Amino acid sequence: MRLVLLGPPGAGKGTQAKVLSKEYKIPHISTGDILREAVKAQTPIGLKAKVYMDKGELVPDEVVIEMVAQRVAKPDCGKGFMLDGFPRTAAQAKSLDATLVKLNRPVDLVIYFKTSVETIIQRLSGRRVCRICGENYHVKNIPPKVAGKCDKDGGELYQRNDDKEETILNRIKVYDNTVPEIISYYEGKGILRTVSGDFDVDEAYDHLSKLFVKENLK
Ligand code: AP5
């Protein structure tokens, strides 16, 4: 199964991808996670990306395109993969296709999480992330057992820099400006499917599982 998860910040792409990638035993490739790791490690890419990420702007295409091209060519993507947060521009979508054609690993389906602005703001403003393992929580929707601590390793939970209100609003604006061309691109290919991003975690998972059966994806 080779999937692209498309949707606004806070649509729940990462939350669903983590569960599905375990269940289907395929890698979850999140460009946001890869970039945050690079920022943490202070690599040249990380130092460059941080400037854009902190403002809620997109990191330049040439940086992310090359990063993903290298990742999807790895052997563990032979059985499939789940791309989360990529592509985000038409140039990224086209270059992804070119890379995957060469690898004979074309995208099967693009799942578009259509999500209301109220949901996005409620989820992002309450998101907390573990400093050690990167697990996502939400102060109300998915609270940890002990406030401020990760259930898995007790790591401190922090708020992402780009989850501050002002940056959230810019991320939504950037998303609204770039997503229509990607939607048209994949609609044209007949592989776009829309699910509601407003469902709770279990409902969203149920809808996705049924969709995979209907589409005969394995
Ligand atoms: P990225 O990390 O990709 O952020 P995003 O797309 O803005 O997505 P999020 O992680 O915010 O949302 P999500 O849909 O994964 O939601 P989640 O499941 O975490 O990108 C960050 C930055 O990196 C970008 O701004 C850009 O600068 C750069 N970047 C990344 N990719 C790039 C690219 N391709 N090109 C250029 N630049 C790029 O859930 C959110 C919260 O809600 C959590 O607290 C969760 O617990 C909760 N929640 C999740 N699902 C539900 C549910 N169903 N019900 C209730 N609560 C839920």
pLDDT, tens digit, 9 for 90 and up, residues 91-120: 999 999 999 999 999 999 999 999 999 999
What's the CA-to-centroid distance between 10 and ligand 1, angstroms?
A: 5
Q: Is the pLDDT of residue 1 over 80?
A: yes
Phi-psi map region of 104: left, alpha, beta (phi>0 left; psi -120 to 50 alpha):
left
Q: Is the CB of 10 under 6 A from ligand 1?
A: yes
Task: Name the 3-class secondary structure at 149.
Answer: strand
- pLDDT computed for residue 218 by the predictor: 77
Compute the average pLDDT of residues 119-137: 94
Q: Is residue 190 part of a domain?
A: yes
Q: Is the pLDDT of residue 217 over 90?
A: no
Compute the average pLDDT of residues 82-96: 96
Containing domain of residue 194, as a range?
2-115+179-213
Q: Is the pLDDT of residue 33 over 90?
A: yes
**Which 8-state DSSP code applies to residue 153?**
T
Q: Is residue 52 part of a domain?
A: yes
Q: Is residue 7 part of a domain?
A: yes
Closest CA to 123 of 71, 172, 178, 79: 172
| Strand pairing class (136-138; 109-114) | unpaired
The CA-atom distances, in angstroms, between 29 and each of 2, 53, 117, 154 are 11, 18, 25, 25
- pLDDT computed for residue 58 by the predictor: 97
Q: Is the CB of 5 under 6 A from ligand 1?
A: no
Q: Which residue among 16, 50, 120, 127 has the greatest number of ligand 1 atoms within 8 angstroms of its CB, and so is best to mutate?
A: 127
CA geometry: angle 202, 115, 162, nearest 5 deg: 100
Cβ count within 10 A of residue 203:
12
Residues carrying an active site annotation: 13, 88, 127, 160, 171
pLDDT per residue over 132-185, tens digit each?
A: 999 999 999 999 999 999 999 999 999 998 998 889 999 999 999 999 999 999
The number of folded domains in the chain is: 1
Q: Is residue 6 part of a domain?
A: yes
Q: Is residue 126 part of a domain?
A: no
Where residue 209 sits, what CATH number does that domain have? Answer: 3.40.50.300
When the pLDDT of each residue in the chain is averaged and rounded to a whole number, the result is: 95
Ligand 1 atom having least distance to the Cα of 128 = 44
Q: Is residue 218 part of a domain?
A: no
Closest CA to 82 of 63, 98, 70, 68: 68
Residue 114 near residue 2 (C-beta atoms within 8 A)? no
Cβ count within 10 A of residue 126:
17
What percentage of residues in the chain have a pLDDT greater than 90? 96
Q: Is the CB of 197 under 6 A from ligand 1?
A: no
Q: Is residue 168 part of a domain?
A: no
Which burial class, exposed, middle or buried, applies to 176 when counting CB atoms under 10 A from its CB (0-12, 13-18, 19+)?
exposed
| Strand pairing class (157-158; 127-130) | antiparallel
Radius of gyration of the chain (CA): 17
Q: Is residue 124 part of a domain?
A: no
